Structure 1
Amino acid sequence: MLRALLFCILASACVLLTTGFKIAGRGENCPTVQSAFGGTLYVRSVPSSDYGTEGKTQVFRARSDVDELVDEYPVYMRGELYLGWSPIAGKWCLVHLEPERITSNNDFAKLGKVSRLAFYMGGKEIIAYAGKDLEKMGLKEKVQTLVYRQPGQFMVNGIQQVSGTNHYVFVIEKTAEQGKGTQTISLDITTGTHSLHVIQTLQPTPSRLVSYRQRD
């Protein structure tokens, strides 16, 4: 049973990471499901075709009888998804980090490249950054760690609460433009714009989830 599987995945904020791809055959699109907040909510994204973004993404609250549909977006979201609650807006916010598509053996140079970063809330897209916009922000190659701190590298720290406030931000850490340190970009999850509250200490929360593909 789907809900039984979901309850086995625990996290307080969630990310869906789809790293697999197909070079031939049906394509890289596939239905995905992720769970969040101790299995009380889950996100399901279903494509309408083997390629492209046609499809739908739904956020559900798990119930004992019939699961409750919380939000729905008319788009298939491939890649990483982060789900967070905004007490100020009183709504669930979804952040989508979409990697470049890998369609052939000649595309391996695209690994780590991000084609789009989008923010959603209340069933609507709030704002989206194209790959070129992200590169202007110094976000050229997504990595798991910044230990080597190569120019343009960045990693995602997920959704975090600004200490002492009800504000939540999507946090990205990147290599500094000068020196050998790192810099932090904090985007408000309700607007997708730079937060005015990041001068305060951020409270990190676990954000990475184990995810699985939903079989046909």
Structure 2
Amino acid sequence: MSVLPDELWNRILEIVISTSRLGYRDLCCLAIVSRRLNRLSEDSSLWATLLALDFPSSDPPQSPSKSLYKTKFERDKARRVAAMRRLVLSAESRVDLSRKRLADLEDKMVRENARLKAAVEEMTNLERVKRASVALKVWQPEVVRGRQKQIVEQCTVPVDSRLSSLLMEIRVCKQQIVGFVKTYNNEKQKLSKYKEAVTSLKYHPLQISQLGLTLKEPKVKGKKLKLCESAESSR
């Protein structure tokens, strides 16, 4: 190392940084190897290249330095942490909304089942009335005839038309229940995915890009920064 002049070492460092083979962490690690590398790593041109790669902007900094990079890094980290929190809150809100929809569907299914049960019971009673009215037309013992006559007299609605209405109502209830069950199962699948997304955001921040929730980040070097910041923010 002592054979090569500082100018050549600076050129080497510029090349590996510009080709994204050396990041800010690598440069910081080189700085603790020796006094010479520590001095070389402070060169403003190296940090200007890193700033341009990791924090691209239309206005290049007037005096690029390691401290300026650190300031921008901390600001960007705070922005990313805030963005992550917003993503978590958004995912949690989807979970809450999905649970509310499931509770609403459960209430609708309970009401529809109760309506179906009431319609079936009423239809059963009307069928008894219909059978009793038919049985009155044939000879029967007086006791049986009196009981059947009492059943017919207690009915105050037209049997045939009401039976037709009940059949239609039962058919509609069954269709509604089938639709509610299908929607309920689909919503349960969505809720499971929403829960997985929340878990991944909270406990596996490095997988955020796989969830389709990633923000627009700087290319190439920004990927290394994202991995580093996600690991630090998850601690």
Higher relative CO (Cα under 8 Å, sequence separation at least 6) belongs to: 2
User: What interval of TM-score do these two structures reach, taking the shorter chain for normalisation?
Assistant: under 0.3
Calculate the TM-score normalised by the size of structure 1: 0.25
Structure number with greater Rg is 2
Structure ranking higher in strand proportion:
1
Using structure 2 for the length normalisation, give the TM-score.
Answer: 0.23
